[in-house]
Chains A and B, each alone.
Chain A
């Protein structure tokens, strides 16, 4: 290790709050990590996550899982629906192979989410390795809010900001887990129903807020219709098909309209 010049006090103060980035300490990186962390707590998603993980903690407790196992599952899996499946399947005595398949199928949405988020985060200086953490932190909550907030963040600061945002959301989930283990049996069915309703309600409103172009609106509409339709018909991998068919149609219609417009202006 080469000794570094002694940093000013303000910088040292920021350093112990920094993300696990290997880049040399830059004041702005730490500040932007904190800005992302703060943005997480100003977002409705932090409170939705607390509510959701209260529900997950109660479920896990009922199936006999310990608090620290649930905390570890949040750090490692970091996908609410996947964790619900993991806990219910293992708790109900499903085989490891069945459980792994069910979790894997439910998490396929993470692939298009990562592909449509990382190009926004990347700058000229980011290395492939820098993107592993934001890819791991990608979940519905982080994806929705990063798409909304990143355009206003300078490109070179987006990596730190995204990591702060994701870690902030993960802390909210842990807080919910602790509260859930503390409350356990004292939740009424109506309260539990309200907690479970937070997910579709907040996700739908946040997605509407992020709709900019025609393709966004169409993808939302097609997904809302196709999702339950394919699930009701017991089509295998229903969500994957919902995404590919609904998303491609929305994208195709947008392209057709753009081409038509260009033609009209010639």
Chain B
């Protein structure tokens, strides 16, 4: 098997299949659940909690280059983003812009202070 074909076969076997199985299980479980059911409300709460867990994990144990930004700067930046969302007419664009600017300034100021 050529190296290139091998890479695509690997993609299907170890990337696509273990990932897609959850979606297809979801498709099976969702069958017969309607929007007003208690099971639906519970699934939504579980999905929201997992998503919150994913967000907090990235913030506390960040991947790659984000790990070089101190935890304090990361937390202050996300708090400013959230504050901007609540203060500035609930605009997600404004919140993301403010959060990113604070992160960048935070890194620059910290580098400048610590020499």
Contact = CB atoms under 8 A, between A and B. Distances in A.
Interface stretch (A1-9, A24-32, A69-77): A69-77
A225 interface: yes
B104 A194 contact: yes
A201 B19 contact: no
A84 B63 contact: yes
Contact of B27 (A72, A135, A244): A135
A221 B42 CA distance: 16
Chain B interface size, as a band, is 35 or more
B23 A247 contact: no
State the main secondary structure of chain B at its contact with A.
helix
Nearest to A187: B65
Interface residues of A, number: 98
A244 B46 contact: yes
A93 interface: no
Interface in B1-44: 4, 7-8, 10-27, 29-31, 33-35, 37-44
B53 A246 contact: yes
B27 to A, nearest CB: 5
A112 B54 contact: no
21 contacts: A100-B13, A104-B18, A107-B22, A111-B23, A116-B46, A119-B37, A135-B23, A144-B51, A189-B65, A193-B69, A194-B103, A197-B100, A200-B56, A204-B52, A205-B95, A208-B85, A224-B52, A227-B52, A227-B55, A228-B61, A247-B47
Given A131-B30, A208-B82, 6 more contacts: A104-B21, A114-B23, A197-B100, A202-B92, A223-B49, A251-B42
